[in-house]
Amino acid sequence: MGFLDEIKKRRTFGIISHPDAGKTTLTEKLLLYGGAIQEAGAVKSNKIKKGATSDFMEIERQRGISVATSVLAFIYKGKKINILDTPGHKDFAEDTFRTLTAVDSVIVVIDVAKGVEEQTEKLVAVCRMRNIPMLVFINKLDREGKDAFDLMDEVEQKLGLQVVPMTLPIGMGHGFKGIYNRWNHTAQLFEGEQKQKKAAVAAFTELDDPKLLQKIGAHAHKQLRDELELIDGVYPPFDQEAYQKGTLQPVFFGSALNNFGVQDLLDCFIDIAPPPQPKTADTRVVLPSETTFTGFVFKIHANMDPNHRDRLAFVKVVSGTFKRNTNYLHVRNNKKLKFSSPNAFFAEKKEVVETSYPGDIVGLHDTGNFKIGDTLTEGDALQFKGIPSFSPEHFRYINNADPMKAKQLSKGIDQLMDEGVAQLFTLQLNNRKVIGTVGALQFEVIQYRLEHEYGAQCAYENLNVYKACWVVAEDPKNEEFADFKRVKQKFLANDKQGQLVFLADSAFSLQMTQDKYPSLRFHFTSERTH
């Protein structure tokens, strides 16, 4: 198969949702239908009975939430599918935002009973800003929920989307009988709960089939006919180009837990979703079809295998082919690196790959060379844009609770910060270490991982900080900057890269400081380009 054919067969997408909408369960079921696993682990009521395949960190198994983005791949009907499963919990939104820089399309999962929730709104806003093609999966149809048309109205109004239903439920909750697929004009009937294996379905290709009428009853049959007529009158026809431009969103209904409607979603997805897309760098737009390799690091994960202190840098291949044992330029460090065992993923399984193509995610073993946002290239020394680092909202001093393990604690903090889980600030006044996170739950995750992966104990102490801002002086030698450093000495720290950070204790104090020192620039978000 030629290089361009390899690009065309790839589909790289992320799954986003509010917590508990069933995102991890859907990921599992896509793997089940893709033949990557034989039996799925049901994720139910936040207790993971059979650890869900994509939740491979111990703390996720305990809490039943996804706190790290997993990378999963499988082949389905001749297409290579790469799924990036993202955390739904708002405390880990930063990880999700970064992952969205590495996907070519997105599936948005919505709970039929709860409808559009807060975290979904935030994530969809990011996708709209970047014109990422979105497909909506309304989940948990086997439970009592909102009317299908009310839900679609809510999606349009709250998320600002233009939807077109591709499947339609026949009944809901206790009266749930199946779904009608408008994409291939078939009705499939729900044959009861089937959580572990693929659902057995009775499919009907004719709406007027007497057996269909007999199975679902005259009332449900008439309602289905009326609703299909209504759809044709109210919603626009599906337009693949509009979907791929991010201006039209197809909607699917189903029950991921019961494996119902998942295959309809997958079959349509591989037909309509975009292949790998171009990406903007600092000097130009890079096309997937270019033959020279380029890629960027969107995630770093320490201790993928706790027995070997390995860090994996997740690289999205943007153009060309990534080959094992080949020298590539690490742009930020300006040095050549080669990788003897690049990994491809299937959940907890990793395998060494010889060649990867645009759209693929490669895991590179890393001894500390990489930071999030780094670019690798075999051509011009370009730098990909748009990988954000956010100003933390929660701050605590981190103290060593076991003086015998100071070395382990230092190493653990160092590696976890490189993952982008949180940010480390060192106060200039007394060298005390401060951890800043976007969400409070991350403190627990850090504490847990330090203990279980590094054998180190830490304790936290509250610190009253309103905002962390990166400070840049137009002229570092001017009087104003010297005065700022003297007056605000106890509020100044350095981040992990040695950049100056002002830890403002209130909104008022920050405003006063900005007014007093107009020649200084205060940044709340830094794009990781250096």
Check whether residue 373 and residue 480 sit in a common domain.
no
Domain shared by 286 and 251, yes or no: no
From CA 520, how far away is CA 204, in angstroms rounded? Answer: 69
Asked if 51 and 109 sit in the same domain, the reply is yes
**Residues 153 and 212 occupy one common structural domain:** yes
pTM: 0.76
Whether residues 288 and 166 share a domain: the answer is no
Residue 156 lies in a domain: yes
CATH number of residue 486's parent domain: 3.30.70.3280
Q: What size, in residues, is the chain?
A: 530
Nearest to 117 by CA among 162, 144, 154: 154
pLDDT at position 132, please?
Answer: 92
pLDDT at 57: 54
List the one residue out of 395, 423, 394, 399 whose CA is nearest residue 410: 399
The boundaries of the domain holding residue 159 are: 3-272
Note the pLDDT of residue 194: 53
pLDDT of residue 309: 57
Are 292 and 285 a contacting pair, CB within 8 Å? no
Assess if residue 480 is contained within a domain. yes
The verdict on 238 and 326 lying in the same domain is no
Residue 100 resides in a domain: yes
Judge contact between 447 and 432, C-beta under 8 A: no
Quote the pLDDT of residue 481. Answer: 92
Look-up: residue for tokens 């009937």? Answer: 189
| Amino acid making up residue 277 | Q
Alpha carbon distance 19, 4 (integer Å): 38
Q: Are residues 259 and 298 in the same domain?
A: no
Please tell me whether residues 7 and 99 are part of one structural domain. Answer: yes
Burial of 431 (0-12, 13-18, 19+ CB in 10 A): exposed
Residue at 382 is within a domain: no
What CATH number is attached to the domain comprising 84?
3.40.50.300
- Are 330 and 336 contacting, i.e. CB atoms less than 8 angstroms apart? yes
Looking at 343, 377, 411, which one is the last position of a domain? 377
Residue 420 pLDDT: 72
Flag whether 385 is in a domain: no
Each residue's pLDDT, cut to its tens digit, for the chain (530 residues) gives 789 999 999 999 999 888 777 777 888 888 787 765 555 443 333 333 444 555 545 655 555 544 445 778 888 899 999 888 776 555 555 677 778 888 999 999 999 989 888 888 888 888 888 889 999 999 998 888 888 999 999 999 999 999 999 999 888 777 788 888 888 888 888 776 554 555 555 677 777 788 888 888 888 888 888 998 999 889 999 999 999 999 999 999 998 888 888 888 999 999 999 999 999 998 899 999 999 999 999 888 765 555 555 678 889 999 999 999 999 999 988 999 999 988 887 655 678 889 999 999 998 888 778 888 899 999 888 988 766 666 788 899 999 999 899 999 998 888 788 777 788 999 999 999 999 987 787 888 889 888 888 899 999 999 999 989 999 988 888 899 999 999 999 999 998 888 899 999 998 999 999 999 999 998 876 554 33
Residues with Cβ within 8 Å of residue 91, at least 6 apart in sequence:
437, 438, 439, 440, 441, 442
Q: Looking at the structure, do residues 54 and 130 belong to the same domain, yes or no? A: yes
| 384 inside domain | no
Alpha-carbon distances of 290 from 186, 294, 385, rounded to whole Å: 41, 9, 18
What is the CA angle 51-263-176, rounded to 5? Answer: 90
Whether residue 47 lies inside any domain: the answer is yes
CA distance 125 to 112: 20
In a domain, residue 386? The reply is no
